Amino acid sequence: MTALANARSSTRTRSSARKTAKAQKPSQSKTSPKRAKRTLPILATPAHAQPRQDTRKEVSCTVCALCCTYVAIEINPPNSVPRATELLWYLYHEGVSLYENDGEWMVQFETRCMNLLEDNRCGVYETRPHICREYSEKECEVNTEDDGQTFYEPATFMAYLAHRRPRLHAKVAAGFAPPAAPVGRAARNPLAFRRRLARVRALRA
């Protein structure tokens, strides 16, 4: 049984993970004492200090189609050595990256939908799956501010562990440290997704 089989079966887009991250946090036990939240006085924001509206133009699906070029599956967070090394294992493969937002983790596989036409239209639009019907270009990672982070290489993931979970990082580095560079065949196009994402985001300017 592969490590992927142990991942939760929820398959979603990255933007849907951002929307539901807080809703899926485990609730407090009924028996645990509740702490009173500290509140601060809310002051009226001066008119001149009001945040500016996002005036950038929206990128349409037929111009972008980025969401039709990857599959993202929710996975367990790296809260133990076995789980952290499982995430390293994902990053050892071509076209695979990790995405984290508010404690929610996803593994992303770069793979183009076989029904995506050359003009970025859907070839099975009338019978498309539910996940496609629920997707909105107004809330995708291109047309909204994405405050999550993506890991494309083992080194950046290890740096994250060193900063956020130093004790876990030390254990992983002691027995499972990734090589400084791949020792096998080099990846064919390791920057493909990053370049596509940057290109379509630039269209909003």
pLDDT-based confidence at 180, cuts 50/70/90?
confident
pTM listed for this prediction: 0.66
Scan for tokens 């039709």, then name that residue: 68
Structure tokens at 176: 């499972």
Q: Is 109 helix (H, G, I), strand (E, B) or coil?
A: strand
Span 82-138, pLDDT tens digits: 999 999 999 999 899 999 999 999 999 999 999 999 999 999 999 999 998 988 888
Radius of gyration of the chain (CA): 20
HSE at residue 7, side-chain half, CA atoms within 13 A, is 22
Who contacts 143 (Cβ-Cβ below 8 Å, separation ≥6)?
58, 59, 137, 204
Give the Cα separation of 122 and 137 in Å (integer). Answer: 14
In the chain, % helix, strand, coil (3-state, to 5) comes to: 35, 10, 50
Structure tokens at 195: 């370049």
Span 56-67, pLDDT tens digits: 678 888 888 888
Give percent of the chain with pLDDT exceeding 90.
Answer: 42
